[in-house]
Every structure is written in structure tokens, then in C-alpha cells.
């Protein structure tokens, strides 16, 4: 029974790690929305260009798409790393306190 308070203290620290992962996932959703909006703008620009309008800012939109896709994959990598770390900490915590 003495291990219980220590277990819960360590479990609270693991919850913080999980909150970080949730934040990263929320950021990925925001970035995904921005990238989709930029792709729609690019498609609109190409369709308008075919009808005689100019492609003002067309290259910058591609640059923004690549920047946001880079951020997306960076957040994806951070999520993988944080989830692996969380799983390893959880396994060691469980083994330590419950001798499984």
C-alpha cells in the first residue's frame, strides 16, 4: 500500500506527457486545415489562369504549402517520439510498482 501514493505521483507526470501529445495533435489539425485551404487557393488560381487571369502570388502559395507540410511532418515525428516515451515510461512504472 505504500507504493500507491508514489505510483500516482508518477502517473500524474505521465499525464503531463500525454497532454503534450494532445497539444501536438491539435497543432497538426490546424496545420492540416491551413494546407487544405492553400491547396484550394492553388487550384482556384490555376483554374482562373486558364481563363485569362494572372497567377499573382502563385509561387508563394506553393512555398507556404511546403512550409506547412514540413511543420506537419515535424509534429508527426514529435508525436511518435512522445508516444514511444510515454509507453516506455508507463511499462517501467507498471513493472516497478506491480512486479509484472
Query: pTM, whole model, 2 decimals?
Result: 0.59
10-22 pLDDT, tens digit each: 777 777 778 888 8
Nearest Cα to Cα of residue 45 among 31, 59, 66, 27: 59
Is a pLDDT exceeding 50 seen at residue 4?
yes
pLDDT digits (tens, 9 = 90+) for 46-94: 776 655 555 566 667 778 888 888 888 988 888 888 888 888 888 887 7
Q: Scanning the structure block, which residue is given the C-alpha cell 512555398? A: 63
Quick count: other Cβ atoms within 10 Å of Cβ 88? 10
Amino acid at each position: 500500500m505504500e507504493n500507491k501514493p508514489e505510483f500516482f505521483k508518477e502517473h500524474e507526470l505521465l499525464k503531463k506527457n500525454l497532454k503534450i501529445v494532445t497539444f501536438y495533435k491539435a497543432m497538426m489539425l490546424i496545420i492540416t486545415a491551413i494546407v487544405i485551404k492553400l491547396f484550394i487557393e492553388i487550384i482556384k488560381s490555376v483554374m482562373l489562369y486558364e481563363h485569362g487571369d494572372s497567377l499573382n502570388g502563385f509561387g508563394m502559395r506553393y512555398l507556404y504549402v511546403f512550409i506547412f507540410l514540413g511543420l506537419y511532418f515535424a509534429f508527426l515525428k514529435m508525436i511518435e517520439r512522445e508516444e514511444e516515451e510515454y509507453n516506455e515510461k508507463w511499462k517501467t512504472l507498471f513493472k516497478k510498482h506491480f512486479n509484472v
